[in-house]
Chain A
């Protein structure tokens, strides 16, 4: 077989700066879906802490830090981003490799909440949505995972096949906000 060329989901689309807001692609490393077995959430959290230094996240929360993060990902699951999963996790949870299945972007800058307010039907302003908070919600017509990673920065994840739509929708919202001056 010929040597295959690695391609990021948003290759050729990002980075993008419009007004005060910048959209960049994030390379999350290994991505692993963790779904704890019934009653095993505490054991999984302990194993996660021992192996990777972060607890299993409560609903609507993310734990860890840039490069090694666990993001609550809905009913009974979390996404481990960064480190390759330790073998001990498989004792307490279903562990599924989802690397390369998600498009991951960072959006940051002054007024970033105004951009997201055009697309997401959840209040993401800092008074309600602080660093370490995460939601599963809609971004325009797509399901997305949105996490606050800084004072004016969010991490957004959608299915990889939706990368172009994600950039298009965010770009349109960024242009709309910038046009208002």
Chain B
């Protein structure tokens, strides 16, 4: 698997650390209520298809990258810097 880092270009997967679903970028407000927080902390989608996750370019430039990919075809559809990619 190859991931294109917005800074470094296409790199081997071994340079990246997988964090998880990109929902981390959509942190609810402190007073958003129990349901929103339960969703944010515990509940994750498990799609057969397009998913967005956070990867860290650990063995490279140190940027957090939002990767949009397809779990069925293994295609990587888009990569963006997490610092620029609020959904």
Contacts and interface: CB of A to CB of B under 8 A. Distances in A.
A138 B14 contact: yes
B15 A59 contact: no
A143 B8 CA distance: 14
Given A59-B7, A60-B7, A74 B61 contact: yes
B24 interface: no
| Interface size of A as a range | 10 to 19
Interface string B13-35: 01100000000000000000000
| Interface size of B as a range | 10 to 19
A135 interface: yes
A130 interface: no
A136 B14 contact: no
A53 interface: no
Interface of A: 59-60, 74-75, 121-122, 135-138, 143
Given A75-B57, A143-B59, 17 more contacts: A59-B61, A60-B8, A74-B7, A74-B61, A74-B63, A75-B62, A75-B63, A135-B8, A136-B8, A136-B59, A136-B61, A137-B8, A137-B60, A138-B15, A138-B59, A143-B58, A143-B60
